Structure 1
Amino acid sequence: MVVLPVRFERSPRLHPMLSEVAHAVDTRVVVQGKRGPEVATVRGEAAGPDPQARYGSVLRAATADDLTHWDALHRQGEDLKWLLRARARERGLPVKIVAVEFTLDESLVTVSYSADERIELGGLISELRAHTRARVNFAAVGPREQAQMIGTLGACGRENCSSNHLQEFAPVSIRMARDQQLPLNPEKLSGPCGRLLCCLQYEHTQYLDLLADLPRKNARVCHTESGACGKVVKLNPLAGTVDVHTEGGMLTGVPAAQLTRAPEQAGGKSKRAEP
């Protein structure tokens, strides 16, 4: 037995599955997951299983009939998605239907939805009953999961990270933007999902290392070459410099190595700037 990483259609996350055959990368396979049999794509090389881990299983390589049936179920799910959206509008329900997905054996249909408040979904279940005999499961998804499933373009012009490669949603805070000296503009710091950009976490640790060598913002410092003293007003962590406002004007791009703590702050330990 080997373990194969597979990817489902609406998420970049890789799921390890036990398989008796080491299928090649990009092979479409039928897997037995938590919801039931589904079609997935092998996205990595085979590896040995971990005796302590729990896995789903690869049932077989997908046949032409499997893929034809899977495509038909996908189209049916899309039709039902738009039907449920229309019925929700008619009923005045504050809900967005994100996706409708069948298992390959049509025993289960999962309706992913987004809503800001608790709503009664009984009417929508009745609508589904008229079109399928599958067991219905409604699953609430958050803004990030919604962007992941739908797929959007980010501010960089490329496919958003959540639907392209992210394996999990790591916590992102506004402090990360402050540490990177970014303007605190919600429109520029938010992704298509309306939450803080996932990419703010990518370089955060590097910025913390760079900031450790700089004085804190608003600290009183003196320039060793000119003797001028003033207050740190801006940090440039990538360049390793700061801007200092003195009584004689502004000193810009001063290397941190040319700065010392002002006399009135002597005796304390120098710390990096507080963004």
Structure 2
Amino acid sequence: MTTKVIGIECAYSSSIVEIPLHEKTVVDIGEEVVFKDSEDKEEYGIVRYVGREPVEKDKVLFSSKILRKATPNDIQKVDSHIEPSRHALKNCVSIIEKLGLDMVVFRVGYSLDGNRVHFMFTSDDRVDFRDLVKELAAVLKKQIHLRQIGPRDKAKLIGGYGKCGRTLCCASWLNKLESINMEMVRVQALESKGSSKLSGSCGKLLCCLKYEVEAYKGLREKVPNIGSVVKIKGKGEGIIIALDILNQRVKVSLEGGEFLVVGIDEIDKVIKAAYESAPFSSSEENS
């Protein structure tokens, strides 16, 4: 039997915690709740989805459950942490500058009981933040947790709008960030678009490049590769210089210097097939 879960955005860690959905659990999306975390402590969060398949089954917090709907007292506690969080962020930035660490802290959260402080940061490299933790603990007198995340996870947390004008997929409905690579770009013949048009607000390849790639793979099988020498019905020979995979058309440079856009059904035969370009290196992938 497949486990259905409730996704709760934890205010402390700014991450989605998935807990089992029990038959007697009555909760609505957007509702503020107090739940039991992995350390068996009470935490405050907001319900983001109910009754879905888990994103990762091995990360479902089976020991957890919703303890209660957030009371006015719970919400007052959360609100009381807003100013200390700002103060903690300023202290953290100051210590980072003093230690010369290459990292950017962008979010701070207090646990519901106020005893733990969670810092989220980005960095291009792995960071040894042991001295930072020591100094923060000495200044804030709290238990300190630091978590490094990538640019895609940061975009998911912060949100925003994509090139399409809609809310970012990762921040609205896309639960799991899957790998996007340049092979997907090549299959859809989008190499000429340039990195700026193919990159999202996170600076990585657009997640939506994956949505239609399987359909394009099927369509691509019927279209000769760029560089193929073909014979066009009634026009003679030419070389394919561009592809329109979705519309099943190609742009051909004819022997006389004329350019022609034709459907693949107008290709009489492929005289010399061009090999596909070599796969791009894994360094050009979204992880």
TM-score w.r.t. length of structure 2 = 0.79
Hey, what's the Cα distance between the residues in 2 that align with 1:165 and 1:143? 18
Matches within 5 A, 1:221-240: 221-224=230-233, 226-240=234-248
Tell me, yes or no, if the aligned pair for 1:101 and 1:110 is still in contact at 8 Å: yes
The 10-residue stretch of structure 1 (197-206 or 52-61) with the greater mean CA deviation from structure 2: 52-61
Structure 2 unaligned regions, length at least 5: 279-287
Tell me, yes or no, if the aligned pair for 2:232 and 2:269 is still in contact at 8 Å: no
Hey, what's the Cα distance between the residues in 1 that align with 2:246 and 2:260? 14
Structure 1 match to 2:20: 17
In the TM superposition, residue 142 of structure 1 has moved relative to its aligned partner by 1.5
Structure 1 match to 2:186: 178
Hey, what's the Cα distance between the residues in 1 that align with 2:91 and 2:167? 27
Hey, what's the Cα distance between the residues in 2 that align with 1:122 and 1:111? 13
Tell me, yes or no, if the aligned pair for 1:235 and 1:273 is still in contact at 8 Å: no
Hey, what's the Cα distance between the residues in 2 that align with 1:117 and 1:48? 33
1:219 equivalent in alignment to 2:228: yes
Deviations 1:205-233 (A, max 9, x none): 22212212211211111112x14111111
Deviations 1:141-177 (A, max 9, x none): 1221222223344333443332232211111111222
Structure 1 match to 2:117: 109
Partner secondary structure for residue 234 of structure 1: strand
Partner secondary structure for residue 201 of structure 2: coil
Hey, what's the Cα distance between the residues in 2 that align with 1:73 and 1:98? 16
Structure 2 match to 1:41: 46
Structure 2 match to 1:189: 198
1:27 equivalent in alignment to 2:28: no
Q: Which of 90, 93, 103 does residue 95 from structure 1 map onto?
A: 103
Tell me, yes or no, if the aligned pair for 1:108 and 1:134 is still in contact at 8 Å: yes
Hey, what's the Cα distance between the residues in 2 that align with 1:60 and 1:170? 34
Partner secondary structure for residue 81 of structure 2: helix
Aligned AA (2:112): L
Aligned AA (1:125): V
In the TM superposition, residue 12 of structure 1 has moved relative to its aligned partner by 8.2
Matches within 5 A, 1:143-222: 143-182=151-190, 183-222=192-231
Hey, what's the Cα distance between the residues in 1 that align with 2:264 and 2:15? 42
Partner secondary structure for residue 231 of structure 1: strand
Aligned AA (1:258): E
Tell me, yes or no, if the aligned pair for 1:217 and 1:274 is still in contact at 8 Å: no
**Structure 1 residues 83, 162: closer, same or farther in 2, change over 3 A?**
farther
**Structure 1 residues 32, 250: closer, same or farther in 2, change over 3 A?**
farther
Hey, what's the Cα distance between the residues in 1 that align with 2:165 and 2:53? 38
Q: Which of 57, 61, 64 does residue 65 from structure 2 map onto?
A: 57
**Structure 1 residues 189, 14: closer, same or farther in 2, change over 3 A?**
farther
Aligned AA (1:236): D
Structure 1 match to 2:7: 6
Structure 1 match to 2:285: none
TM-score w.r.t. length of structure 1 = 0.82
Tell me, yes or no, if the aligned pair for 2:7 and 2:50 is still in contact at 8 Å: no
Aligned AA (1:112): M
Deviations 1:187-213 (A, max 9, x none): 222222222222211221222122122
Hey, what's the Cα distance between the residues in 2 that align with 1:99 and 1:83? 13
Hey, what's the Cα distance between the residues in 2 that align with 1:11 and 1:123? 24
Deviations 1:55-106 (A, max 9, x none): 2321111111111211222442233123211221233221111222222123
Hey, what's the Cα distance between the residues in 2 that align with 1:274 and 1:217? 9
Structure 1 unaligned regions, length at least 5: none
Hey, what's the Cα distance between the residues in 2 that align with 1:248 and 1:144? 49
Structure 2 match to 1:135: 143
Structure 1 match to 2:281: none
**Structure 1 residues 58, 216: closer, same or farther in 2, change over 3 A?**
same
Hey, what's the Cα distance between the residues in 2 that align with 1:198 and 1:84? 32
